[in-house]
A and B are shown apart, each in its own frame.
Chain A
Amino acid sequence: MMIFRFRMVAVLFGLMAGLLWTGSLLAQEPVTDNDVNDVAKDLFCPVCENVPLDVCPTQACADWREVIRGQLAEGQSKRQIIDYFALQYGDRVRAKPAQQGFSLAVWLLPVLAVFAGAFYFSRYLRGLKQNTAVVAPVKTVKPVANANRPVTEEYLARVEEELKKLK
């Protein structure tokens, strides 16, 4: 009895595992063009100049997209496929330069430049503010006096001036 029951359980488990396995096979949907394009978007055509792989109309690129389709069907990830292409055709096929090694420079330099520029710019302005604290009284020109008047009055002043000229 015990043995029979054990067999039953084993068979049941076996059946379940088998079902799961075939189920997973059936559930695996065919790779769509959109899946392929999603990977191809981040690659550049290895032969044309600056054409993303997903939109390149040449036959060579159509073949490369089929390679991607095949690799996706094998279950490879986007990253693996991009790395494969970079290995085969060089780093130039990456649409986004890798954020490591020499190509890290392409990302870092603009950021550094913006910060350096912002730093210089703010120092320049601050320096001026200290200067003008001393100079300001001499420079009291009309617009400063106007500063707090509502803007329409300035427009009125200008309009009046222009009307005067017309006469």
Chain B
Amino acid sequence: MLPDFGYATLVVAFLLAIYASVAAFYGGRQKDHRWVESSRNAIVAILPLVTLACVLLIYALVKGDFSIDYVARVSSRAMPTYLKVTALWGGQAGSLLFWNFLLAVFTSAAMLRQWDRQRPLMPYVLAVSAITQVFFLFISIFVENPFTRLAIIPLDGQGLNPLLRHPGMIIHPPLLYLGFTGLTIPYAFAMAALISGKLDDGWIRATRRWTLVAWLFLSLGLILGGRWAYDVLGWGGYWAWDPVENASFMPWLAATAFLHSVMIQEKRGMFRMWNMFLIILTYLLMILGTFIVRSGVISSVHSFAQSAIGPLFFGFVTLMLLFSLYWMTRRWNELSSKNQLESFLSREAAFLLNNFLILAILFATFWGTVFPILSELFMDEKMTVGAPFYEQVNGPLFAALLLLMGVAPLTMWYRSSAKRIGMQTRWPALAALIFVGVLFAFFEVRSWGALLGLWIVALAAILTVLEFWRGTQARMKHGETAWTAFSNLMARDRRRYGGYWIHLGVVVMAFGIIGTEFFQQETQIRLSRGESVSVGNYSMTFNGIRRYAGADDLLITEAEVSAFYNGRLVKNLRPRTELYTRTGQPMTIPAARSTISDDFYVLLINWEETSVNSAVFRIYVNPLINWVWFGTVIFTLGTMVAIWPDPASQTSVAAVRPRRPSLAAGD
């Protein structure tokens, strides 16, 4: 009964989505607003339907209705309720249903909010987002139906994959999906601008905040994924350039390039074609990312063909690519720039260089990710492209990007003088050099790569802080107190200073990344009870070990060790392994002592009952790793500052119009 009802709601939503896309397109072409309004109503009706389907599935998960295949796979009686609820996105079919739900949320919200402001664009915004919804609902109905029933009803379900029973994994997928689905909105507006021929900056202004929100979710999703890997996967790191990670990193890169280059269009009316290209690329990479994660193409080209989902996604990406290219070429002449670059020492050129570097990283990542697929297709031999490739190719590009991030805010629109930029960077560069010199002399940093990286990080940090300093100083000259000046500075130009906060967050993260990349220490050793081992400034003593049964079918082996820093006891740690006896899946849960300077991170690798008194440990000292998480907080707050709506523009429709040009060094 329940599965039939759930399935029926999806089918109705699917039919409505088809109707909405056709009606909106027809209404737009015929300039008949009744069709468009009818399409809008259809779109808004999809949301409650898909929500109902989600609620029904959650109900089945919590109740343990194992007659449904999906429920039997990802839920079990013994699972706590919150895990049963989050099992909604614990498997393929549920994830795709959840994807549908989020897309419906974003589409409805964008529709209701922008309806009056962007009337000429609306028919095609409706059509394009409805087409995306049609595709995903199609998959949910015909290929990955979450309500499929089982002929034989099992007594209990298999339960959620133990790797996914972690807080990081519970929040991480929804955030990524929010980012992914959110990026559909700016794409829909861009395509609407192309189709309707309203090629001014309306679509960019209307979607700026949507793009930023989606981008923030995507960023957080990526970072939380890293945190989850660090806490649960037990290999001492947070990012492995795994194809699945790359799949979500690529749309993030394209969106980042887009967020920067739209500023040239708003300011100078240039690169309108380029921005179209970037948002189309973002959307296609987003679909491609979902395809890579969901189709199994990564494990093998052959498993790709086993499920219908792979070819379908591939077909949809191709279709949307052709659709986008067709409209881009049709509007090619109308999109050409009215203005030109005047100098390559200008803000515009700096943004272009930023785009160039980001796209280079994107290309290398894309190539490394698809190469195994290509090699299997053409050479019949699967290759692996591991982390060393990405580190060697992307490392220098990231360093250049970081340097640009520090210097670019000093450039001005139209043109700036090399002399002035030189004057403004001279002292910061020297200060950064002193910082690196201190590291060299007193902290025995000898790696040239690390020294160069740290110099760039220090320079970018100083230059970014100086931006705040100068702005505050200027305001203080007008009699404002330091704090008022500082907060007014940000309130007056949230977008600009939010951006600088984001830069600062990135610099702090880069500091942490360089620390762990270059100075990680590790060792693996078998210790008997009472024995010690030292790594760097730390040493560790193995005190004892015990094995006990955990919840469900869990068998936990937990060691107790003492961590000493310079001979002083700092913390007792309990690294453990968990074995899910039913599936035989092992998990290695690390224990760590975290400080601002490093993590002492211990893994219990091996222990057999026969060798009661000795166990194998793997120990990492990860310098500066907590700066990565700390930088994330700054990054997030900065994005919030940039997203926060202006009180003025909230009430008036006029705010959509271009603002007066400003003389300032940037926006």
A residues contacting B by CB (< 8 A) are 32-34, 36-37, 42, 44, 49-50, 52, 55, 57-58, 62, 90-97, 102-103, 105-107, 109-111, 113-114, 117-118, 121, 125, 128-129, 131-132, 135-136, 139, 141-144, 146-148, 151-152, 154-160, 162-163
Please give me the residue from chain B that is nearest to A147 by CB atom.
B417
Minimal beta-carbon separation of A22 from chain B (angstroms): 27
Q: Are A152 and B470 in contact (CB under 8 A)?
A: yes
Minimal beta-carbon separation of B514 from chain A (angstroms): 20
A residues less than 8 Å from B606 (CB atoms): 62
Give the most central of B363, B364, B384, B664: most A CB within 10 Å. B384
**How distant is the Cα of A33 from the Cα of B413 in the complex, in angstroms?**
58
Minimal beta-carbon separation of A33 from chain B (angstroms): 4
B residues less than 8 Å from A155 (CB atoms): 470-471, 473-475, 664
Given known contacts A49-B298, A92-B381, A147-B417, A125 and B341 CB-to-CB distance under 8 angstroms: yes
Q: Are B414 and A143 in contact (CB under 8 A)?
A: yes
B residues less than 8 Å from A37 (CB atoms): 522, 524
Q: Are A95 and B665 in contact (CB under 8 A)?
A: no
18 CB < 8 A contacts A-B: A32-B524, A33-B525, A52-B240, A90-B381, A90-B382, A91-B382, A97-B383, A106-B368, A118-B356, A121-B356, A132-B340, A132-B341, A135-B340, A136-B342, A151-B420, A155-B470, A155-B471, A156-B477
B interface bracket (residues with beta carbon within 8 Å of A): 35 or more
With A105-B371, A132-B341 given, can you name 13 additional A-B contacts, CB distance below 8 Å? A33-B618, A44-B384, A91-B381, A93-B384, A94-B383, A95-B387, A117-B356, A125-B341, A128-B344, A143-B412, A146-B412, A147-B415, A147-B420
Q: Are B234 and A96 in contact (CB under 8 A)?
A: no
B residues less than 8 Å from A141 (CB atoms): 414
Q: Are B663 and A154 in contact (CB under 8 A)?
A: yes
**How distant is the Cα of A132 from the Cα of B343 in the complex, in angstroms?**
8
Minimal beta-carbon separation of B424 from chain A (angstroms): 7
Q: Are B492 and A125 in contact (CB under 8 A)?
A: no
B residues less than 8 Å from A152 (CB atoms): 470, 473-474
Q: Are A163 and B478 in contact (CB under 8 A)?
A: yes
Partner of B383, one of A91, A109, A129, A163: A91
A residues less than 8 Å from B412 (CB atoms): 143, 146-147
Residues 29-79 of B contacting A (Cβ, < 8 Å): none
**How distant is the Cα of A113 from the Cα of B393 in the complex, in angstroms?**
12
A residues less than 8 Å from B393 (CB atoms): 107, 110-111
**How distant is the Cα of A134 from the Cα of B240 in the complex, in angstroms?**
51
Q: Are B478 and A117 in contact (CB under 8 A)?
A: no
Q: Is B433 an interface residue (CB 8 A)?
A: no
**How distant is the Cα of A109 from the Cα of B368 in the complex, in angstroms?**
10
**How distant is the Cα of A25 from the Cα of B623 in the complex, in angstroms?**
39
B residues less than 8 Å from A147 (CB atoms): 412, 415-417, 420
Q: Is B553 an interface residue (CB 8 A)?
A: no
**How distant is the Cα of A157 from the Cα of B665 in the complex, in angstroms?**
11
**How distant is the Cα of A97 from the Cα of B665 in the complex, in angstroms?**
46
Partner of A97, one of B352, B384, B416: B384
Q: Are B368 and A95 in contact (CB under 8 A)?
A: no
B residues less than 8 Å from A146 (CB atoms): 412, 663
Partner of A32, one of B367, B379, B525: B525
**How distant is the Cα of A103 from the Cα of B389 in the complex, in angstroms?**
12
Q: Is B523 an interface residue (CB 8 A)?
A: yes
Q: Mark B402-416, 1 if CB is under 8 A from A, else 0.
A: 000000001011111
B residues contacting A by CB (< 8 A) are 234-236, 240, 242-243, 298-299, 340-344, 349, 352-353, 356, 359-360, 363-364, 367-368, 371-372, 375, 378-379, 381-389, 393, 397, 410, 412-417, 419-420, 424, 470-471, 473-475, 477-478, 492, 522-526, 577, 586-588, 606, 616, 618, 662-665
Given known contacts A97-B383, A159-B478, A144 and B414 CB-to-CB distance under 8 angstroms: yes
Q: Are A33 and B616 in contact (CB under 8 A)?
A: yes
Q: Are B415 and A117 in contact (CB under 8 A)?
A: no
Q: Are A97 and B385 in contact (CB under 8 A)?
A: yes
Given known contacts A110-B393, A154-B664, A154-B665, A49 and B385 CB-to-CB distance under 8 angstroms: no
Please give me the residue from chain B that is nearest to A95 by CB atom.
B386
Please give me the residue from chain A that is nearest to B488 by CB atom.
A162
Q: Are B382 and A92 in contact (CB under 8 A)?
A: yes
Partner of A92, one of B384, B410, B662: B384
Minimal beta-carbon separation of A60 from chain B (angstroms): 12
Please give me the residue from chain B that is nearest to A102 by CB atom.
B379
Minimal beta-carbon separation of A143 from chain B (angstroms): 5
Q: Are A158 and B299 in contact (CB under 8 A)?
A: no
Counting from the closest, the 8 A-B pairs by CB-CB distance are A155-B474, A95-B386, A33-B524, A55-B235, A110-B364, A92-B382, A125-B344, A128-B341
**How distant is the Cα of A28 from the Cα of B618 in the complex, in angstroms?**
24
Partner of A95, one of B388, B417, B526: B388
**How distant is the Cα of A94 from the Cα of B321 in the complex, in angstroms?**
34
B residues less than 8 Å from A91 (CB atoms): 381-384
**How distant is the Cα of A95 from the Cα of B601 in the complex, in angstroms?**
24
Give the most central of A34, A110, A148, A160: most B CB within 10 Å. A110
